[in-house]
């Protein structure tokens, strides 16, 4: 679409001066013609003539070439005393635990030469069973952040621990009232230390726990229904019907690390006891919503009605509430399914409103879900936010009730709904304010003292996430800076312990004490596993459900309903300085480095917004006003967004007032450096919409009514996928319904591509594509190894863990918004997200060429179905890229790998042009040193470089790169087997992406091992290969996506045809 | 061979930061190495059981001729016999603590006292025969050879260096003479021309260039052939020179500590893997950490100022104070008393190459010297050996590996990969058995084609493929 703005070449054109009019007529400026330039005698007489210049140039090139041959002297510094468990060149893995105040997971940390370089989930121990989130994987980058506070600070200036400790301890001891504002603390040791601190205070001591994303409504609803304020454990794996209302439980709601794996278990159509049915009622298309079998576009104001309708339904009563017809259809199906599955069902709601949560409790109780999918006894200790107390405390800070205020792991100056705290702290009524945060963030910069805590990977910690679970975290690197564990700081300030310095054991000793008071297990063994199961505490009385009066339901006023939500990568903003997460395309919108207003494209067209965009053409802007707070943001067309609503992501707009929260947290200028705002400070990425929250009934309310007005101007966004649908290319994505899958043969939903050929009797016959070979076969089948991968599209939930893990494992450079915009992102693995269009409801069927229009296929449906499809190098055995490489830099290995040899590559990019999957990436710049990437590429500073995987080349400019199937891991696995004198066991080799997949959608292994999982998976009835008809024989298989839905159109179209070639549809 | 290496040295000195003295040293030691190697390859190789056991089990603490962590082993049997306890030496070797505890041996108590309570490792599984083979081998060593050989070689080197050093000068002088002759001839020609001009005879006053052109056109066939040959020779020469750029053969930077490999690995017979102990576990062989040095050097502080000075450097690095306590002790490492040794790296693998030592040493069963040359004969700090030297290593001769490419270049790697075989049929390594089975079962003809030269080479199993080393 054309740009509406007019640009002038200069003031001359604007004013239409006479000379401009004259010069406009000629193509070139005439002021200095080439002839006159060449005829200039003076020039040829000058001391350096053109020829001389060329001679000098030639000489300097030659000299530079010769000088470049010089081998620099490289130093090697071995240990003085080698630690016992470190072998240079070999990784050491540590079991640990991750908790950042909102996500929790049992993790394994890979270290090389005592540097953590990779994080994955611990599949063997812990409640999360190997699940992680993108932000957990990317958190390894945080330890090397060069903008961490390196010393204790007083008034923003470097100080010493002795000095700050003395002053803070004295202040605490003599204070009349002390407040500690922290995130939810689940560490028994820190709770212990805080009570020590409490006893050290002369006057009053208040500990306020506060989460920017609050779940307090669940607790208060449970208090009214069960008589106890708690959050139970949920078990999605036992649920056959799942109903989610505005709860993105696969990505952001409560414990996604637990739920994603549980959900994955129920989504396998091959399961004998059936596949779960998932209903989602939401406004903004979330990762969870994109996986639902049925999705109802639900405005926040309609949630109450939907839940009331379902409650009436499961009670067998007819409801009086009015629902729109579409919503009613979906709700009726949900009720039917809930009634069918009874206690094997689960209803969850993500809206922070006690009334709605009470309705959810009623429904679950009616289904008898308590005890099967809801485990009341095993309480979740996360999210104990007390908004009322916090708001009270903020008032106290502004009036000067407190003498000392401590902030630990919390940033309320950024994330509180109103700017009250900022004003209160600026008022300086509190004598001593202390922040233990690791960055000079919004809160820290307003505090007198800063006592930086270690990074999580540098410190000991213990956690009590659930009643029956206790976990430990161990340091994987020696503290890089002069920081101190918060646990130690609390103990020192309470006068119980003295500072231990760089090699302090204070925290470790304290945790060991806590440990022995909780369990009799062996400490080292628990450390090895990272966690231990505790005896379930006996409940005094068994908890039972009691009906209670409903608390006030959400009262959303008239106007556009605005939903503030969390995005998968940035979440609540804790990791807003992490370049890997900023560059991670949002699983649904595929936009990087920005937040935006999401709106349904149908509504956008009506209101005159642009619904298409590309690298040169931006999106329209809109001003959004909620609760008196206005922000101007681009408007992104998101199919499936409930009409009448818009969504804005939280967690952006950090560091806009000159706070130093990390190099990559700001908008970068085109040639390096930052975009600078009017006040001379670097511009934050996106806008902070936390101030839009309201605090009704002392609960943070994330959905409010507001006003959205289109404003002038366009804003260019950087998205990795600017088309929405699969556009009729049915050989890429295949999907069917559970009903068809159960009742019809493979031919119906996964037909083999066939080609016509002549048989021996010269008859026309159709044979599957797999039986044709364009070229001689590579000798990879059944000989040696043949590495393969299969991806189950039914299990893939689009969580994007694989993408970040790949980036971390393979040293994939960060390229920044401007480069992503130009389509130059370097991710070796991308997840293609396809919205269904109305035109192609039946994927995998041929269209009538007269009535079918591709234009219609490009437009996503109003409320589309979604497919997530991880796409990386398919390692084709007849790879088109290999044949066009003029220098044989990309070749085929005898193990079925499409090898990329960087040192041979001359960068012709023929291979990328010839790749049908578009998975090859050209390395355009010297990312580790070019100034454009200084701010965003962690490899550009000495600290950030430490995160690089030493077993993988850091590619230089001008080469092609792509997924290597983690060949470094293949080689390591083979070597291990050779040394152990064992054949490679199935499951021993895993790629980074398969390693972190929470639903085990990705299976990798040696295809030549006939008993391997990958062999079986590739021969599965649902297996197909993307673009199989091209005949390039990939080593990657996909499995047909199966939805547990009723789709009459699809079942009409997906019918078994009479096969021309008998049963010969075996895959090779 | 000498000419080649000298040319290379001149070349390398321009492109690598090697000082003049270093260069001379490197030439000298290079020649010495070759001389010694020639000597060794001519002398019969001595592989006895005793030597093997000594290197594997004893050499860590015992030297042949010097007292180390434990006493020298040369004449040990004699000393026990002198004490009248000749038979007890076997028990002593097997389990010294038990012998001492039994109280049967006076000598046992003496040695224990002499070595300040150092306890010797228990070798319960050694048989009498094995133990006596060790002592037999030790006593068969020549105590004079250990100190004499080096000096002799050095003086010879000095002489040969000057001899060889004259060679390029001859060429330069010859070249200068050639140029002078040409100039003289053309001078005469010119004089003649001027003379004819002066004498009034009219000739076409052609310039040199025009003259040359006419001449070249007249003999264009010959000129064409000659210039083609010239151009080709130039290109070949240029390519050869370019190929030697950055080839690290003979690269020998100076090191902070004058560590003699010949003393440690040669005279003392310490196994390479004792110090470079990650070689069997990891991709890198590892530079020994200071605590490994200290295993022996707590006791051995050197004879003579020069050696003491060098060993002192290890003490500084380790934070060791020999005067602390009765037998020395470490200073508090937390107070910054240690300082890691900053070595100059000799082997530098480019970033885009992956090489794994354990793959080659453990799985491939290579001996260190097959790639690194015989370090036991190398006085100076480590260096990459020329491939000619590697071709003389007995193991490489046995496996018929003939290198023609400079060491540590890719050509050198793939030469070995195409020549060395893997025993996949009759091996106890189940990994290769599985590979063999798959070949046998599914593609017998392929297996046969692999075996047509009598072996399955690394190349045939994929050892030439890019992503085996580049990723």
Task: Look at A967 and B467 and tell me if their CB atoms are within 8 Å.
Answer: yes
Torsion sign (Cα): A861, A867, A873, A876? negative
pLDDT tens profile A258-310: 999 999 999 999 888 889 999 999 999 999 999 999 999 999 999 999 999 99
What pLDDT shows up at residue A10?
Answer: 58
Contact A779 B439 (CB under 8 A): no
Q: Helices A161-174 and A486-493 meet at what angle, rounded to 10?
A: 50
Residue B42 has pLDDT above 50, yes or no: no
- Find where tokens 């079942």 sit: A1051
Judged by CB atoms closer than 8 Å, whether chains meet at A894 and B358 is answered as no
Q: Is B425 helix (H, G, I), strand (E, B) or coil?
A: coil
Stronger pLDDT, B300 or A892, i.e. the higher one: A892
Q: How far apart are CA A153 and CA A502, in angstroms?
A: 17
Q: What percent of chain A has pLDDT over 70?
A: 90
Cα gap A949→B316, rounded to integer Å: 33
Q: Tokens for B108?
A: 């046992």
Predicted local distance difference test score (pLDDT) of residue B398: 83
What is the rounded CA–CA span in Å between residue A520 and residue B78? 59
Write down the mean pLDDT value for chain A: 88
Q: Give the pLDDT band of residue B165 (cuts 50, 70, 90).
A: very low
- CB < 8 Å to B361, chain A: none
Which of chain B's residues have a Cβ under 8 Å away from the Cβ of A900?
Answer: 466-467
Contact of A699 with A1013, CB cutoff 8 Å? no
- What per-residue confidence (pLDDT) applies to B99? 80
Which of B346, B462, B467 should we substitute to test contact with A (largest number of A Cβ atoms within 10 Å)?
A: B467
Q: What is the pLDDT of residue B164?
A: 42
Q: Rounded distance, CA A882 to CA A888, Å?
A: 7
Which of chain B's residues have a Cβ under 8 Å away from the Cβ of A1010? Answer: none
Spatial contact of A597 and A636, defined as CB atoms under 8 Å apart:
yes
Q: What is the mean pLDDT of residues B283-298?
A: 88
Do B16 and A975 lie within an 8 Å CB cutoff? no
Whether A981 and B429 lie within 8 Å, measured CB to CB? yes
Start-end of H helices in B298-374: 305-318, 357-358, 368-372
Q: Which residues of B touch A777 (CB under 8 A)?
A: none
Using an 8 Å CB-CB cutoff, list chain A residues near B356: 971, 975
User: Residue A78: its chain B contacts at CB < 8 A?
Assistant: 286-290, 340-341, 343
- What letter would DSSP give residue B363? I
Q: Which residues of chain A have pLDDT under 70?
A: 1-72, 536-541, 779-780, 839-849, 851-854, 1057-1068
Name every residue whose Cβ is closer than 8 Å to that of residue A847 and which is 6 or more positions away in sequence. Answer: A728, A840
Q: Answer yes or no: do B356 and A975 touch at CB < 8 A.
A: yes
Tell me if A357 sits within 8 A of A335, measured CB to CB: no
- Of all residues in chain A, the one with the smallest CA distance to B434 is A983
- Beta carbons of A613 and A619 less than 8 angstroms apart: yes
Over the stretch B185-205, which tens digit does the pLDDT of each residue have?
888 877 887 777 666 655 556
Work out the number of other CB atoms within 10 angstroms of the CB of residue A937: 23
Query: Which residues in chain A are contacts of B431 at CB distance < 8 A?
Result: 974, 977-978, 980-984
Both tokens of residue B307?
Answer: 């050696």
CB contact under 8 A, B438 and A899: no
Nearest to A872 by CA among A910, A826, A840, A836: A826
pLDDT of residue B8: 35
Exposed, middle or buried: residue B233 (CB in 10 Å: 0-12, 13-18, 19+)? exposed
Q: What phi, psi does B83 have (nearest 5°)?
A: -80, -5
Could you count the other beta carbons within 10 Å of the beta carbon of residue A614?
A: 13
| Closest Cα in chain B, distance from residue A894 (Å) | 6
Residue B342 to residue A75, Cβ atoms within 8 A: yes
Q: Compute the distance between CA of residue B46 and CA of residue B60 in angstroms, rounded to an integer.
A: 20
DSSP at A566: -
Return the pLDDT at A20.
57
* Bridge partner list, A871: A830
Strand partners, A631: A624
Contact between A968 and B354 using a beta-carbon 8 Å cutoff:
yes
- Helix (H) or strand (E) holding B168, with range, is helix B167-198
Chain B CA closest to residue A952: B471
Task: Indicate the SS3 state at residue B83.
Answer: coil
Res A63: pLDDT = 62
Q: Give yes or no for a contact between A414 and A688, defined as CB atoms under 8 angstroms apart.
A: yes
Higher pLDDT, B107 or A22: B107
- Cβ burial of B31 (10 Å; 0-12, 13-18, 19+) is buried
Do B431 and A981 make contact, defined as CB atoms within 8 angstroms? yes
Give the pLDDT score at B41: 40
CB contact (8 A) between residue A81 and residue B461: no
Q: Which of A84, A783, A828 to mutate to test the interface with B (most CBs of B within 10 A)?
A: A783
Core vs surface per residue B47-57: b (16+ CB within 10 A) or e: eeebbebbbeb
Q: Given the structure tokens 């039946």, which residue do they identify?
A: A842
Contact (CB, 8 A) for A218 and A224 = no
CB A935 within 8 A of CB A672: yes
Regarding beta strands A645-649 and A597-599, do their DSSP bridges make them parallel or antiparallel, or are they unpaired? Answer: antiparallel
Return the pLDDT at A362.
93
Q: Considering only alpha carbons, which residue of chain A is nearest residue B339?
A: A80
Of the residues B246, B335, B431, the best mutation for testing chain A's interface (the one with the most A CB atoms within 10 Å of its CB) is B431
A246: Cβ contacts below 8 Å, ≥ 6 apart: A281, A282, A283, A298, A300, A303, A349, A350, A351, A563, A703
CB contact at 8 A, A937 and A813 = yes
For chain B, state the CA radius of gyration. Answer: 31
Considering only the C-alpha atoms of chain B, give the largest distance between any 2 of them, rounded to a whole number of Å: 120
pLDDT (0 to 100) of residue A1 = 42
Residues of A in contact with B434 (CB under 8 A): 983-984
Pure H helices in B63-114 = 76-82, 88-94, 96-102, 106-114
Length of chain A: 1068
**Closest by Cα among A87, A90, A70 to A78:** A87
SS3 letters across A326-355: HHHHHHHHHHHHHHHHCCCEEEEECCCCHH
CA distance A906 to chain B (A): 15
At what angle are helices A325-341 and A303-314 packed, to 10 degrees? 40
pTM of the model: 0.82
Q: In terms of CA atoms, which chain B residue is nearest residue A962?
A: B471
- Comparing alpha-carbon positions, the chain B residue that sits nearest to A955 is B352
* A299, A603 contact by CB (below 8 A): no
Mean pLDDT of B324-347: 81
Q: What is the pLDDT of residue A378?
A: 87
Per DSSP, which regions of A425-576 are E strands? 432-435, 449-450, 461-466, 469-473, 531-533, 560-565
Residues of A with Cβ-Cβ distance to B362 under 8 angstroms: 978-979
Chain B residues close to A82, C-beta within 8 Å: 289, 291-292
């Amino acid at each position: 679409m054309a740009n509406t703005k007019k640009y002038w070449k200069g003031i001359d054109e604007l004013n239409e001066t006479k000379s401009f009019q004259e010069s406009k007529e000629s193509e070139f400026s005439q002021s200095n013609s080439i002839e006159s330039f060449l005829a200039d005698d003076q020039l040829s007489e000058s001391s350096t003539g053109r020829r001389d210049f060329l001679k000098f140039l030639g000489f300097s090139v030659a000299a530079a070439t010769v000088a470049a041959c010089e081998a620099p002297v490289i130093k090697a510094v071995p240990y003085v005393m080698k630690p016992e468990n470190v072998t240079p060149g070999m990784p050491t893995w540590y079991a640990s635990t991750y908790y950042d105040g909102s996500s929790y997971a049992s993790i394994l940390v890979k270290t090389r030469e005592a540097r953590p370089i990779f994080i994955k989930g611990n599949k063997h121990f812990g409640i999360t069973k190997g699940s992680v989130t993108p932000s957990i994987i990317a958190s390894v980058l945080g330890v090397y952040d060069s903008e961490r506070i390196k010393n204790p600070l007083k008034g923003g200036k470097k100080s010493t621990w002795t000095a700050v400790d003395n002053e803070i301890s004295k202040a605490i001891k003599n204070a009349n009232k002390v407040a500690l504002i922290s995130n939810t603390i689940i560490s028994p040791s820190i709770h212990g230390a805080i009570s020590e601190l409490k006893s050290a205070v002369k006057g009053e001591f208040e500990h306020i726990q506060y989460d920017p994303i609050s779940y307090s409504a669940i607790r208060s609803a449970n208090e009214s229904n069960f008589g106890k304020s708690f959050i139970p454990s949920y078990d999605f794996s036992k649920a056959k019907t799942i109903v989610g209302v505005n709860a993105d439980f696969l990505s952001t709601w409560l414990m996604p690390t637990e739920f994603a794996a549980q959900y994955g278990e129920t989504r396998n159509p091959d399961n004998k006891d059936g596949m779960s049915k998932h209903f989602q009622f939401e406004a903004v298309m979330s990762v969870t919503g994109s996986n639902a079998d049925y999705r109802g576009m639900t405005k926040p104001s309609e949630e109450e009605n939907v839940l009331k309708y379902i409650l009436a339904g499961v009670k067998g009563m007819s409801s009086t509430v009015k629902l729109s017809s579409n919503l009613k259809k979906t709700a009726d199906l949900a009720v039917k399914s809930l009634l069918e599955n009874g206690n094997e069902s689960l209803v969850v709601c993500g809206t922070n409103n006690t009334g709605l949560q009470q309705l959810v409790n009623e429904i679950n109780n009616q289904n008898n879900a308590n005890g099967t999918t809801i485990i009341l006894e095993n309480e979740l200790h996360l999210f104990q936010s007390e908004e009322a107390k916090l708001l009270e405390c903020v008032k106290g800070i502004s009036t000067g009730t407190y003498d000392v205020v401590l902030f630990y792991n919390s940033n309320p100056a950024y994330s509180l709904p109103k700017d009250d705290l900022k004003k209160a702290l600026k008022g300086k009524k509190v004598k001593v304010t202390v922040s233990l945060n690791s960055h000079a963030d919004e809160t820290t910069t307003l505090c007198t003292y800063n006592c930086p805590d270690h990074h999580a990977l540098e410190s000991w910690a213990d956690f009590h996430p659930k009643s029956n679970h206790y976990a430990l975290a161990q340091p994987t690197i020696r503290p890089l800076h002069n920081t101190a564990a918060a646990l130690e700081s609390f103990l020192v300030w309470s006068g119980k312990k003295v500072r231990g310095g760089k090699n302090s054991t204070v925290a470790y000793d304290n945790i060991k004490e806590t440990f022995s008071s909780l369990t009799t297990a062996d400490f080292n063994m628990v450390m090895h596993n990272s966690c231990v199961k505790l005896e379930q505490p006996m409940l005094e009385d068994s908890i039972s459900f009691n009906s209670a009066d409903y608390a006030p339901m959400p009262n959303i006023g008239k106007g556009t309903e605005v939903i503030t939500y969390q995005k998968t990568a940035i979440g609540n903003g804790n990791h807003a300085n992490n370049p890997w997460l900023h560059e991670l395309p949002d699983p649904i919108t595929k936009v990087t480095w920005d937040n935006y207003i999401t709106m349904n494209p149908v509504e956008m067209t009506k209101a005159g917004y642009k619904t298409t965009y590309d690298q040169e053409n931006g999106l329209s802007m809109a001003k959004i006003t909620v609760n008196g707070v206005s922000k101007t943001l681009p408007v992104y067309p998101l199919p499936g967004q409930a009409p009448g609503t818009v969504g804005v992501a939280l967690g952006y707009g950090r560091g806009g007032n000159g706070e130093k929260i990390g190099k990559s947290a700001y908008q970068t200028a085109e040639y390096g450096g930052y975009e600078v705002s009017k006040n001379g400070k670097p511009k934050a990425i996106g806008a902070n919409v936390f101030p839009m929250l309201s605090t009704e009934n002392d609960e943070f309310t994330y959905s409010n009514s507001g006003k959205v007005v289109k404003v002038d101007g366009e804003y260019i966004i950087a998205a990795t996928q600017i088309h929405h649908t699969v556009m009729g290319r049915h050989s890429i994505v295949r999907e069917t319904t559970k009903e068809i899958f159960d009742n019809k043969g493979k031919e119906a939903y996964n037909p083999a591509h066939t080609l016509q050929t002549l048989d021996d009797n010269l008859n026309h016959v159709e044979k599957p594509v797999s039986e044709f070979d364009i070229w001689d076969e590579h000798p990879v089948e059944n000989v040696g190894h043949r590495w393969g991968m299969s991806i189950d599209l039914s299990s893939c939930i689009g969580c994007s863990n694989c993408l970040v893990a790949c980036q971390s494992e393979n040293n994939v450079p960060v390229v920044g918004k401007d480069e992503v915009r130009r389509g130059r992102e370097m991710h070796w693995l991308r997840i293609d997200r396809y919205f269904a269009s109305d035109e192609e409801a039946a994927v995998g069927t041929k269209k009538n060429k007269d009535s079918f229009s591709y234009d219609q296929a490009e437009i996503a449906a109003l409320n589309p179905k979604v497919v997530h499809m991880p796409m990386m190098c398919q390692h084709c055995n007849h790879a088109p890229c290999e044949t066009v490489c003029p220098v044989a830099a990309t070749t085929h290995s005898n193990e079925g790998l499409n090898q990329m040899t960087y040192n041979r590559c001359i960068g012709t990019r023929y291979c990328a042009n010839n790749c049908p999957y578009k998975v090859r990436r050209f390395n355009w710049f010297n990312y580790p040193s070019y100034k454009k990437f200084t701010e965003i590429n962690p490899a550009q500073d000495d600290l950030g470089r430490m995160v690089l995987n030493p077993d993988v080349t850091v590619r230089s400019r001008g080469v092609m790169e792509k997924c290597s199937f983690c060949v470094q891991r293949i080689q390591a696995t083979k070597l291990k087997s050779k040394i152990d004198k064992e054949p490679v066991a199935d499951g021993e080799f895993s790629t980074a992406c398969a390693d972190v997949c929470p639903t085990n959608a990705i299976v990798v292994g040696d295809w030549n091992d006939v008993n391997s999982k990958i062999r079986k998976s590739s021969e599965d009835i649902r297996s197909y290969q993307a673009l199989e008809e091209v005949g390039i024989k990939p080593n990657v298989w996909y499995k047909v996506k199966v939805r547990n839905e009723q789709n009459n159109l699809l079942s009409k179209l997906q019918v078994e045809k009479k096969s021309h070639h008998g049963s010969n549809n075996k895959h090779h | 061979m000498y000419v080649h290496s000298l040319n290379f040295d001149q070349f390398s000195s321009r492109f690598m930061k090697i000082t003049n003295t270093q260069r001379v040293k490197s030439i000298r030691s290079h020649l010495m190495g070759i001389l010694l190697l020639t000597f060794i390859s001519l002398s019969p190789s001595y592989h006895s059981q005793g030597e093997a056991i000594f290197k594997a089990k004893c050499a860590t603490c015992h030297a042949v001729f010097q007292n180390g962590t434990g006493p020298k082993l040369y004449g040990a049997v004699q000393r026990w016999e002198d004490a009248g306890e000749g038979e007890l030496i076997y028990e002593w070797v097997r389990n010294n603590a038990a012998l001492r505890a039994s109280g049967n041996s006076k000598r046992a108590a003496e040695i224990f006292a002499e070595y300040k309570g150092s306890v010797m490792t228990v070798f319960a599984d050694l048989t009498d025969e094995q133990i006596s083979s060790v002592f037999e081998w030790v006593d068969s060593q020549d105590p004079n050879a250990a100190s004499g050989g080096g000096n002799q070689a050095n003086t010879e080197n000095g002489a040969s260096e000057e001899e060889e050093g004259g060679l390029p000068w001859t060429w330069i002088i010859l070249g200068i003479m050639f140029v002078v002759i040409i100039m003289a001839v053309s001078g005469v020609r010119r004089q003649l021309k001027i003379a004819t001009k002066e004498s009034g005879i009219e000739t076409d006053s052609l310039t040199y260039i025009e003259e040359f052109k006419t001449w070249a056109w007249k003999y264009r066939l010959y000129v064409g052939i000659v210039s083609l040959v010239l151009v080709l020779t130039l290109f070949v020469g240029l390519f050869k020179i370019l190929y030697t750029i950055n080839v690290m053969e003979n690269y020998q930077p100076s090191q902070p500590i004058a560590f003699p490999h010949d003393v440690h690995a040669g005279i003392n017979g310490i196994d390479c893997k004792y110090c470079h102990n990650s070689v069997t576990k990891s991709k890198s062989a590892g530079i020994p950490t200071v605590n490994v040095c200290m295993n022996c050097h707590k006791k051995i502080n050197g004879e003579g100022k020069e050696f003491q000075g060098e060993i002192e450097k290890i003490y500084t690095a380790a934070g060791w104070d020999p005067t602390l306590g009765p037998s020395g002790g470490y200073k508090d490492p937390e107070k910054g008393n240690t300082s890691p040794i900053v070595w100059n790296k000799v082997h530098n693998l480019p970033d885009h190459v992956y090489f794994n030592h354990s793959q080659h040493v453990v799985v491939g069963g290579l001996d260190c010297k097959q790639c690194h040359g015989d370090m036991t004969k190398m006085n100076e700090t480590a260096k990459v050996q020329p491939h000619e030297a590697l071709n003389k290593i007995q193991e490489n001769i046995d496996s018929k590996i003939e290198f023609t490419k400079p060491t540590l270049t890719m050509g050198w790697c793939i030469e070995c990969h195409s020549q060395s075989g893997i025993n996949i049929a009759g091996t106890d390594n189940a990994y290769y058995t599985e590979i063999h089975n798959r070949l046998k079962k599914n593609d017998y003809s392929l297996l046969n084609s692999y075996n047509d030269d009598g072996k399955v080479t690394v190349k045939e199993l994929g050892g030439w493929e890019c992503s085996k080393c580049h990723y």
